């Protein structure tokens, strides 16, 4: 029988509440494969997926590699444990012109041949039955894995496929991601989701100064992030009036700082409404004017819930590399403006003093502007 074996990593470190993490992972697997028929069961610290249509195997693998909490997977042949059965399956593998090694795990001590001895025996079978094969114990092209379990079955596979790892999505609460449309924020959301945080997103726009294409870009980013996060709710909020009022009444060099403070206030209100315990941003220290230590401090003080900045110590190239990996990079670089480019000052303040920020902000009717902005909220589920 052809099966897919899934292995998890960090969940093993959990104690009495490990079942919660395992059950959540099982639910996430079922949700990801909801359009397909299959059977999933837990066996000795791993999962076995069986009774699926092999024609869809590549789709299964693609989806499973993106589920947080799975460390690796293998497509395996499951047989009743018997020495000759194992040899026959090994003979059916494609090992011609390959370097290989054999790794036997003998969880069932009923099987009479010790692991090292069986490795050598199967190695001889491979050398005898395939042309131009060669043993390589360190960097083989193919690792033949023979997993002899206590349940009377043996699983034979070649090479593991790495998966997303991390912790199962939904095991660490919920966070609200400030999704700008740039390269950084999707990567920030990815990293926090990888630690088990369920993600909702908020996007700020400045229509008519920003276009419908900018909005569609963000929805496309959310759809691509859905490969890892599943369904995502996006709260779309206008800050047009806020920017117009700042531009009209305040020192324009403080536009970004004042706007960020308002965005944080709005985000916190929505986060509390949806049960999110933290905000998430893609800020990287010193990358732009709003991401200096002083600017970050000026925005932190207006909210009471934590602000997670998983990329704070990342270089831009590091962030771009991850964006390419998760498929968001080519969308993020589309040349459609976001709200932060509207009324952009020539010389934005990079080290704002809080006393001066408060003086500029006092020129605004903050509560009215917040309420008017919140009234524009639109919720879209991707």
Are residues 292 and 157 part of one domain?
no
Which of 132, 162, 192 represents a domain boundary (last residue)? Answer: 162
Q: Is the pLDDT of residue 341 over 70?
A: no
pLDDT at 40: 97
Q: Is the pLDDT of residue 198 over 90?
A: yes
12 pLDDT tier (thresholds 50, 70, 90): confident
pLDDT digits (tens, 9 = 90+) for 284-295: 998 887 789 999
176 beta partners: 200, 279
Are residues 126 and 242 part of one domain?
no
Closest CA to 104 of 116, 94, 88, 121: 116
Tokens 């083989």: give the residue.
Answer: 140
Domain that holds residue 249: 174-381
In a domain, 97, yes or no: yes
Do the beta carbons of residue 192 and residue 310 sit within 8 Å? yes
For the segment 335-352, the average pLDDT, to the nearest whole number, is: 78
In a domain, 168, yes or no: no
Are residues 98 and 142 part of one domain?
yes
Q: How many domains does the chain have?
A: 2
pLDDT at 373: 98
Are residues 135 and 218 part of one domain?
no
pLDDT at 44: 77
Say which CATH number the domain at 282 has.
3.40.50.620
Closest CA to 133 of 94, 185, 82, 172: 94
Say which CATH number the domain at 126 has.
3.30.2130.30
Are residues 158 and 185 part of one domain?
no
Q: Is the pLDDT of residue 211 over 90?
A: no
Closest CA to 214 of 179, 190, 245, 241: 179
pLDDT at 160: 94
Share of the chain above pLDDT 70, in %: 98
Are residues 241 and 150 part of one domain?
no
Are residues 241 and 102 part of one domain?
no
Do the beta carbons of residue 163 and residue 313 sit within 8 Å? no
Task: Return the minimum-mean-pLDDT range out of 140-154, 165-179, 203-217.
Answer: 203-217
pLDDT at 136: 97
Which of 140, 162, 184 represents a domain boundary (last residue)? Answer: 162
pLDDT digits (tens, 9 = 90+) for 91-133: 999 999 999 999 999 999 899 999 999 999 999 999 999 999 9
Tokens of 347: 């010389």
pLDDT averaged over the chain?
A: 94
Are residues 114 and 178 part of one domain?
no
Which of 162, 193, 221 represents a domain boundary (last residue)? Answer: 162
In a domain, 167, yes or no: no
Do the beta carbons of residue 283 and residue 296 sit within 8 Å? yes
| Contact residues for 336 (Cβ-Cβ < 8 A; gap 6+) | 181, 210, 211, 213, 214, 217
pLDDT at 308: 98
Q: Is the pLDDT of residue 325 over 90?
A: yes
Are residues 197 and 154 part of one domain?
no
Do the beta carbons of residue 190 and residue 326 sit within 8 Å? yes
Are residues 348 and 211 part of one domain?
yes
In a domain, 169, yes or no: no
Share of the chain above pLDDT 90, in %: 87
Q: Is there a cis peptide before residue 208, judged by omega within 30 degrees of 0?
A: yes
Are residues 92 and 238 part of one domain?
no
Are residues 318 and 225 part of one domain?
yes
For the segment 222-230, the average pLDDT, to the nearest whole number, is: 95
């Amino acid at each position: 029988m052809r099966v897919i074996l899934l292995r998890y990593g960090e969940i093993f470190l959990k104690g009495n509440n490990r079942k919660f993490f395992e059950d959540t992972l099982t639910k996430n697997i079922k949700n990801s494969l909801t359009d397909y028929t299959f059977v999933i069961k837990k066996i000795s610290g791993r999962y076995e997926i069986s009774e699926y249509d092999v024609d869809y195997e590549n789709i299964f693998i693609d989806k499973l590699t993106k589920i947080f909490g799975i460390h690796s997977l293998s497509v395996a042949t499951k047989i009743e444990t018997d020495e000759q059965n194992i040899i026959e399956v090994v003979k059916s593998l494609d090992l011609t012109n390959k370097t290989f090694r054999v790794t036997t795990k003998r969880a069932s001590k009923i099987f009479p041949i010790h692991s090292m001895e069986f490795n050598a025996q199967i190695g001889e079978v491979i050398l005898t039955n395939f042309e131009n094969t060669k043993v390589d114990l360190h960097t083989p092209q193919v690792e033949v894995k023979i997993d002899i379990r206590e349940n009377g079955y043996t699983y034979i596979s070649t090479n593991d496929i790495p998966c997303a790892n991390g912790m199962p999505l939904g095991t660490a609460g919920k966070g609200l991601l400030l999704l700008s449309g740039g390269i950084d924020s999707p990567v920030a959301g990815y990293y926090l989701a990888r630690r088990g945080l369920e993600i909702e997103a908020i996007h700020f726009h400045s229509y008519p100064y920003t276009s419908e294409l900018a909005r569609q870009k963000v929805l496309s980013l959310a759809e691509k992030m859905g490969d890892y996060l599943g369904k995502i709710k996006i709260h779309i909020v206008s800050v047009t009036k806020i920017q117009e009022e700042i531009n009209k009444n305040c020192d324009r060099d403080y536009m970004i700082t004042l706007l960020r403070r308002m965005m944080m206030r709005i985000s916190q209100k929505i986060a509390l409404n949806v049960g999110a315990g933290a905000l998430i941003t893609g800020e990287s220290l010193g990358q732009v004017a709003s991401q200096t230590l002083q600017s970050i401090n000026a925005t932190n003080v207006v909210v009471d819930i934590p602000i997670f900045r998983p990329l704070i110590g990342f270089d831009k190239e590091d962030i771009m590399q991850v964006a390419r990996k998760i498929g968001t990079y080519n969308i993020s670089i589309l040349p459609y403006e976001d709200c932060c480019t509207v009324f952009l000052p020539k010389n934005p303040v990079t080290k704002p003093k809080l006393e001066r920020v408060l003086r500029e902000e006092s020129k605004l009717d903050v509560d009215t502007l917040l309420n008017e902005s919140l009234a524009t909220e639109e919720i879209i589920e991707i």
